[in-house]
Amino acid sequence: MIRSRIKNSNLNKKVTMKIISKDAINQYIGVDIEPTDWFVVKQEQINQFADCTLDHQFIHTDPVKAQNTMFGSTIAHGLLSLSMLPYFAESFGYLLEGAKIGINYGFDKVRFVHPVKVNSRIRVHAKLLEVEEKNPGQYIFKTEIIVEIEGEKKPALMAVWLAMQIVT
Per-residue pLDDT tens digits for 85-96 = 999 999 888 999
Q: How many CB atoms lie within 10 A of CB 17?
A: 19
User: What's the whole-model pTM score?
Assistant: 0.87
Above pLDDT 90, what percent of the chain? 86
Name all domains of the chain by residue range, CATH numbers in brackets. 2-167 (3.10.129.10)
